[in-house]
Structure 1
Amino acid sequence: MNRRRFLQSSAALSLLTAADFAPWQAISAFARELDDFVRGPAVKDHPLRQVSKHVWMIFSPDGFPTPENQGMMCNITFVDTAEGLVVVDSGTSVQIGEMAIRQIRKAFNKPVIAIINTHYHGDHWLGNHAYVDAYGDSLPLYAHPGTIQAIQGVQGNMWRTLMEQWTNQATIGTRVVPPRLPLKNGDELKFGDVTLRMHHFGVVHTPYDLCVEVLEDGVTLIGDVAMDHRIANMDDGSYLGTFKAYDSLEKMGSRIWLPGHGEPGAGVLKWNRRLFEGIYQPCEQAIKDGLALEETKARVLKDPRVSSQARDTKGFETNIGKYVSLAYLEAEAAGF
C-alpha cells in the first residue's frame, strides 16, 4: 500500500471512530480534503525563456516522466497579452503548475486569464489544478470538444494515476480539473493586442489536437503534433494524418514552431516528418512486398532517415518497435 492510500485509510478509520459512523457525505468531504493535504514535494524552479514578442516558455529538457524529474517533461507556454497571460498546456501536476506560477509572478505583473489544453495526454493539462487554485474556479479552460469529453471520461483519472506511478508518487495531490470551454478549427480568441487562431487537422497525435497560432508573432504552438528530438506517442494517432497536418501547417508561413517536447524553431516539422516518413514509408513498401512485421522493423531501422536520427531521439530504443507496429498496421489498413 502506498503512502497516500495508507494515510487515507488510517484517517478514514479515525474519522469513523470519532464521528460515531458519520454520514458518507462527511467521509467523502474528508477524503477530498485529505487529497489536498497529502502532496508530493515542490518542483524546483525552471526559468522562463522569451521566444518572440508575446510568447514565453518554461522549457522541459526531459522527454518522459521519472521520479527524478517529478513529471517535468512538457514545455509550458505563456502568451503575454494586454489583458493578461494565456497558458498553453499547464504541465503534469499541481506542483509543476505552482512552480510555473512562481516564475510568471516574478516576471509579470499580470494575472493568468485563460488556459488552452492542446490535447488529453496528462502532461498537457494536469497542471490546471494549480491555476484554478491561484486564479479561481471561473478561470476559462479551453480545449477541443473531444479533449474535454476524454478528460471528463476515462482519460482524466487514468492520466493522474499513471503520472503518480511513473514519478513514484511525486505528483500526488493533483486533482483532475478538465477544460470546459470548446474550441474548434478556425476559432479565434482575441486578448487586446494578441489574436490566437485554432487549428485542428483531424487525427494526428490524438484525434483532437489543437495547434495555437499567435498571429502577431508568426509563432504556432503545435502541442504534440510534432516534437523535436523525441519520438512521439502514436498510440492514439495516425501517420497519414500527421503528414496531412504538416502539409497544412507548412502553408501557414509561421517562422517558429513551438512543440510540447523539445526546442522551438523553424525546423521542427521537417525533423519530425523525416523521422516519421522513415518509419511509415518502409512499412508501406513492406506491405506491397509481402514482408512480415519483424522483417519490416529491420528495414525501418536501416532507413537513413531513421538511423541518422535514432541516437539523438529521446525514447527511441524503448518505443521504436511499437511505433513500427502501428505504422505497419496503418499501412496495411490503408492498402485495402
Structure 2
Amino acid sequence: MSTSPATLTEVADRVWVARHPWFDVSTTVVGGERGLVVVDTHVSTRVGRELVESARSLGAGEGIGVVATHAHHDHVLGTAAFREAFGEALPVHAHESCVDELRRWAADRPAYDGEEPVPGEVDASPVVLPDRTFSSAAVVDLGDRVLELVHPGRAHTSGDLVVRVADADVLVAGDLVEESGPPAYGPDSFPMEWPLALDVCLQLCTDRTVVVPGHGAPVDRAFVMDQRADIGVVAETIRDLAGRGVRVEQALEVGDWPLDRGALVHAVARGYEHLPASQKRLPLL
C-alpha cells in the first residue's frame, strides 16, 4: 500500500481533488476569497495532516471549514488534523443525521481490521462530531463564491449530502456515486430511496458538470445517469420479488440483477425491510 500523499489536481476553477490509494477515496478542496473548504478528510489523523500540508501548498489560503459527505470512517477520521491545524473553532458541516450516525458509531466503535500503512493509526484517530448541521440545504460562504450543501434524501446512508459549486459546475457526490466499484450497499443503506436521491443529484448537474464520486475518478452526468439506472433496477427488482411472495433468502438467486450479486446482499435485506407491508405478499411455499 502506498504511503505517499495523494496529489491535489485542479478539476475546475479552484476546485482540487485528491484520489487516495488507500480506500481509493476522494478528497475535494474548494478555494475562495475567504480561504479553503475541504470535503471529506479521509481515514486517519496522519493522512489528515498530509491533506493539510497539501492544501496549504496550493497557496490559495488557509482552511475555513470541513464538510463531511456522510458518516463512514474512511471519509471523516482525518478531521481532527484540520482542527489541530486551523483551530478548534474550525466549522465542520454535515447533515444532522450524519452527526447521529457518527455519535452512535463512536459509542460502540469497532476495532479496525483492515490493512494500514501505520499499524493502529485508524483506531488512534478520534471522531470529531460536526458542529454545523442542517436538515435540507445549507450554504457555505467563501466570499466570491458559495458552496451549496444539499441533502438529496437517504441513500448510501441516512445522512448523505452533496456539495454543489455552481460557478465551477462541480458536484461532489460522496458515496452516492462510485466510479471504481459498484454502488456500496451497506447495512445502513436505503436501497429503495437511493434512486430518488440520485434524481435530485441529476437535477443539480448539466451536461458539462464534473461529478466527484466518493471513490474513483471524476465522472460526468451521463455516468451518474447510468448508475442511477442500475440502482433503480435494483429497487424495482426488490419490489417485484417481494410483491410476488419471493422470500428474502431466495431473492438474490431468483432475481435478474444489473449488478454482481455479491454487492447486493445488504441491498436486498434492507430493501425487504423497508418495503411497506402492502407491497409484500406472504412468501411462496
Query: TM-score category by the smaller chain?
Result: 0.7 to 0.9
For residues 56 and 334 of structure 1, the distance between their equivalents in structure 2, rounded to whole angstroms, comes to 47
Alpha-carbon displacement from aligned partner over 1:296-331 (angstroms, at most 9, x marks no partner): 21233x44x32xxx4xxxxx73x4333233233334
**How far does residue 292 in structure 1 lie from its aligned partner after superposition?**
2.5
The one of 56, 73, 84 aligned to 2:16: 56
**How far does residue 274 in structure 1 lie from its aligned partner after superposition?**
2.8
**How far does residue 288 in structure 1 lie from its aligned partner after superposition?**
2.6
Note if contact 1:43-1:99 (Cα within 8 Å) is conserved in structure 2.
no
Match of residue 148 from structure 1? 99
- Decide which moves more: 90-99 or 167-176: 167-176
Decide which structure has the larger Cα Rg and report it. 1
**How far does residue 334 in structure 1 lie from its aligned partner after superposition?**
6.5
For residues 162 and 277 of structure 2, the distance between their equivalents in structure 1, rounded to whole angstroms, comes to 27
Matched residue type, 1:136: G
- Which structure 2 segments of 5+ residues have no match? 281-285
For residues 165 and 276 of structure 2, the distance between their equivalents in structure 1, rounded to whole angstroms, comes to 38
Alpha-carbon displacement from aligned partner over 1:2-22 (angstroms, at most 9, x marks no partner): xxxxxxxxxxxxxxxxxxxxx
Residue 291 in structure 1 maps to residue 243 in structure 2:
no
For residues 185 and 44 of structure 2, the distance between their equivalents in structure 1, rounded to whole angstroms, comes to 20
Note if contact 1:90-1:97 (Cα within 8 Å) is conserved in structure 2.
yes
Over 3 Å counting, the alpha-carbon distance change for 1:44 and 1:216 in structure 2 is: same
- TM-score w.r.t. length of structure 2: 0.85
Residues 76-155 of structure 1 mapped to structure 2, 5 A cutoff: 76-151=27-102, 153-155=103-105
The one of 246, 251, 264 aligned to 1:320: 264
Match of residue 201 from structure 2? 249
Q: Percent identity?
A: 23
Matched residue type, 2:122: T
Residue 239 in structure 1 maps to residue 191 in structure 2:
yes
More helix by share: 1
**How far does residue 333 in structure 1 lie from its aligned partner after superposition?**
4.5
Paired residue total: 273
Note if contact 1:117-1:142 (Cα within 8 Å) is conserved in structure 2.
yes
- Decide which moves more: 234-243 or 110-119: 234-243
Over 3 Å counting, the alpha-carbon distance change for 1:333 and 1:120 in structure 2 is: farther
Residue 167 in structure 1 maps to residue 115 in structure 2:
yes
More strand by share: 2
Note if contact 1:199-1:211 (Cα within 8 Å) is conserved in structure 2.
yes
CA RMSD of aligned residues (A): 2.5
**How far does residue 294 in structure 1 lie from its aligned partner after superposition?**
4.4
Alpha-carbon displacement from aligned partner over 1:3-57 (angstroms, at most 9, x marks no partner): xxxxxxxxxxxxxxxxxxxxxxxxxxxxxxxxxxxxxxx9421111111112111
**How far does residue 172 in structure 1 lie from its aligned partner after superposition?**
4.1
Alpha-carbon displacement from aligned partner over 1:180-228 (angstroms, at most 9, x marks no partner): 1223323212211221112113322222211111111111111122222
Note if contact 1:90-1:128 (Cα within 8 Å) is conserved in structure 2.
yes
Note if contact 1:205-1:236 (Cα within 8 Å) is conserved in structure 2.
yes
- Decide which moves more: 203-212 or 227-236: 227-236
Residue 262 in structure 1 maps to residue 216 in structure 2:
yes
- Counterpart secondary structure, 1:171: coil
- Which structure 1 segments of 5+ residues have no match? 1-41, 62-68, 311-315
For residues 96 and 51 of structure 1, the distance between their equivalents in structure 2, rounded to whole angstroms, comes to 21
For residues 55 and 333 of structure 1, the distance between their equivalents in structure 2, rounded to whole angstroms, comes to 46
- TM-score w.r.t. length of structure 1: 0.73
Over 3 Å counting, the alpha-carbon distance change for 1:243 and 1:179 in structure 2 is: same
Residue 226 in structure 1 maps to residue 174 in structure 2:
no
